[in-house]
Amino acid sequence: MNLEVARRRYPLRGNTFGARQARLLTMIRFLTAGESHGQGLVVVLEGVPAGLAISEAEIQGELGRRRLGFGRGPRMRFEKDELTLLGGIRHGRTLGSPIAIEIHNSEWPKWQEEMSPSLGATTKPLSTPRPGHADLTGMLKYGFDDARDVLERASARETAARVVAGAIAKKMLAEIGVSILSHVISLGQVSLLVEELPQPKDLAEIDASEIRCFDRSKEELMIAEIKAAAKVGDSLGGAAQVVAWGVPVGLGSHVHWDRRIDGLLAHALMSIQAIKAVEIGDGIEVSSKLGSQAHDAVFWDSQENSYYRTTDRAGGVEGGMTTGAPLIMTAYMKPLATLNRPVLETVDVATKQATVSFKERTDVTAVPAMGVVAETMVALVLLDEAVRKFGGDSVSEFVRNYSSYVQALGNTDSKSQGTHL
Ligand SMILES: Cc1cc2nc3c(=O)[nH]c(=O)nc-3n(C[C@H](O)[C@H](O)[C@H](O)COP(=O)(O)O)c2cc1C
Ligand SMILES: C=C(O[C@@H]1CC(C(=O)O)=C[C@@H](OP(=O)(O)O)[C@H]1O)C(=O)O
């Protein structure tokens, strides 16, 4: 059969047709729409099995975590992220159909004229693009003379819609014992050395704190640094570590470049606005070590009847597959591009005169919020892979398939300890 015929006949089958076709195999798909100061954001999430109990309060809980964080701009204090569940959920349970949810923007009345979808608004174009934001490149690419036509969609407001999808993905993963949390490990010049992997309870304890850093003295230093940057109208970046516990062995695959889970996770994390580097496990540290010190030795526990490891330098991934150990990833965020004291040199696109970038309401830093978005992206990748591996139209079928896989591996108890397989 020639390739064209095969493509038409089996549009959703197999990776034999290469990367583009492989992406069609995505089990969990989601799409967001909406501008930062538009009427609202919409997310459509497809592929979630039927029968998952999910409430508006649970989704709101995740959105509330994303709004938190010392150093965020004024919007996060009044933004309510009002939800409307438009489809795919009935009486608190998923139907297996696409889930559509709207997040209304609290500020819409104020922005209605500026952001009107109809002709007629006569607002002054923003013509002094901010270096480091999407403004200039987006204007050149799309042929706009107003940076607002770019920044409205480039804005990380969009991550609120991702987090709605992530809340559902996390709830689904919890059905097979996976939990995902994040914590801030550096902010500006202040960083902490994570010597021992935190446990879910450690991170749950700090979840409502301003910075989500489990070293309180470092947190105070971070807050002081943010205050100092705010005072001079500057911004800060930093890093958040995301940990997923209870991930079963064997999500992802070594057989194709685009099925390797580290690649999928890195892509998902790099897609977050302002993320400029992603690390899996001790990736950076081990690059300068000897091989004999860089890997996670394997042992056999004859009482437990299972393999185990005493280290997790690989961050829970080997050969593009999850090892069953905690998944550890770090996302590094650059300092935000919008400054309250605009000093970044730019050019006015209308006059070509040298100037400084325009000033727009902004966060001083958003590292704790980014951590929550990073959790979301990890959850969506893991759920996609889990649904691919275990399948099922209903949650009970998905869990049944997962349980029989774990049983076949020979040991279920030790899995929860993370370093056992
Ligand atoms: C949660 C979150 C909040 C952000 N808030 C701001 C902000 O207030 N001001 C700003 O200039 N950039 C902010 N950013 C980053 C910009 O959206 C990002 O730099 C811009 O879209 C350009 O993309 P790039 O940095 O990936 O090249 C934020 C990012 C995240 C994840
Ligand atoms: C609105 C959010 O983040 C925004 C992300 C953002 C940017 O440039 O990315 C700029 C700011 O926008 P605004 O001027 O509306 O306050 C942030 O507040 C949000 O996270 O919900």
Place of tokens 């989601």: 30
Q: Are 46 and 98 in contact (CB under 8 A)?
A: yes
Helices (H), 254-394: 261-270, 283-286, 367-390
What is the reported pLDDT for 304?
85
Residues in the chain: 421
Question: How many angstroms is it from 397 CA to the middle of ligand 2?
Answer: 40
Structure-token pair, residue 259: 């099925």
Please work out whether the CB of residue 106 comes within 6 Å of at least one atom of ligand 2.
no
State whether the beta carbon of 155 lies less than 6 angstroms from ligand 1.
yes
Give pLDDT, residue 342: 80
Sign of CA dihedral 170, 173, 174, 178: negative
What is residue 411's predicted lDDT score, i.e. its pLDDT? 56
Question: Can you tell me the distance from the alpha carbon of 311 to that of 45, in angstroms, rounded to the nearest whole number?
Answer: 36
* Parts of the chain with a pLDDT under 70: 1-25, 120-122, 411-421
- Separation of alpha carbons 158 and 409, rounded Å: 40
Domains of the chain: 123-416 (3.60.150.10)
Give Cβ neighbours of residue 230 (< 8 Å, ≥ 6 apart): 71, 340, 364
Q: Dump pLDDT digits (tens) for 181-201.
A: 999 999 999 999 888 899 999
**Closest protein CA for atom 24 of ligand 1:** 274
Choose among 208, 201, 192: nearest CA to 372: 208
Three-state DSSP class for 421? coil
Which pLDDT does position 13 carry in this prediction? 44
User: CA neighbours within 13 Å on the CB side: how many for 154?
Assistant: 20
Residue 338's pLDDT is: 96
* pTM of the predicted model as reported, rounded to 2 decimal places: 0.93
Residue 212 marked ligand-binding: no
Annotated ligand binding at 153? The verdict is yes
Nearest-10 Cα torsion for 216, 220, 221, 223: 130
pLDDT of residue 346: 97
